[in-house]
Amino acid sequence: MLSERLTALGVRSSISIVIAGLSLVMVQASQAPSHRPDVRFLPTPDNVVDAMLEMAHVTASDVVFDLGSGDGRIPIAAAKKYGARGVGVEIDDQLVRLSQENAVKAGVADRVTFIHGDLFQTDISQATVVTLFLLPSLNIQLIPKFKRELRPGARIVSHHFAMGDVWLPDAEQDVSGLMIYLWNIRSG
């Protein structure tokens, strides 16, 4: 009878260990990006980066989030040229490492952070400026997140793609044949 109880306890302990292990894997999976990139990395030309940051009127008091930050050029430019804090969100871990190296080379690693994560799951509530170079369908999917998480006064600037007829931009500009669009978050 004692051996039966010990055997039962051993089985229960093994089950508990398996459950604990699975729980840890599930927690880690929930923190990692949930899917592969929706778009491939295509760098925004430097003159367009400059125009996007100018259109958003970036200053040293801004926190610039770049969703799908690629090699980090937009947050790095915001920190280097304007003294802003920059945050890049990128699902590709190799591009995150490249961005971190680029920030060190540019001398702004103390002002720029890169997050390996899913832009749909990342909290952007600290952003005063959000920059994008995503497909129109992704921009449209992000609208509820923008309206929910961004405070009045925050600005969104997109390279090349608007948000369709769903949300018309407040301003648009042609930069050497490439379009950029600006939206302002308003109260209510």
First to last CA, the chain: 70
Which element (helix H / strand E) includes 177? none
Helical ranges in 107-177 per DSSP H:
136-149
Pairing mode, if any, of strands 178-184 and 155-159? antiparallel
Query: Would you state the pLDDT for residue 78?
Result: 98
Model's pTM, two decimal places? 0.79
Distance CA 49, CA 158 (A): 10
Mean pLDDT, range 77-82, rounded to an integer: 98
The residue with tokens 């978050």 is: 185
Report yes or no: 183 and 150 within 8 Å, Cβ to Cβ. Answer: no
What CA dihedral angle connects 115, 100, 72 and 32, to 10 degrees? -20
pLDDT tens, residue by residue, 157-175: 999 999 989 999 999 999 9
Question: Bigger pLDDT: 151 or 29?
Answer: 151
Q: Which of 29-33, 45-49, 122-126, 154-158 has the lowest mean pLDDT?
A: 29-33
Concatenated DSSP letters of 87-123: EEEES-HHHHHHHHHHHHHHT-TTTEEEEES-TTTS-
Q: Which CATH superfamily is domain 46-184 in?
A: Vaccinia Virus protein VP39 (3.40.50.150)
The answer, yes or no, to whether residue 11 has pLDDT greater than 60, is: no
- Compute the average pLDDT of residues 18-30: 34
Q: Where are the domains of the chain?
A: 1-31, 46-184
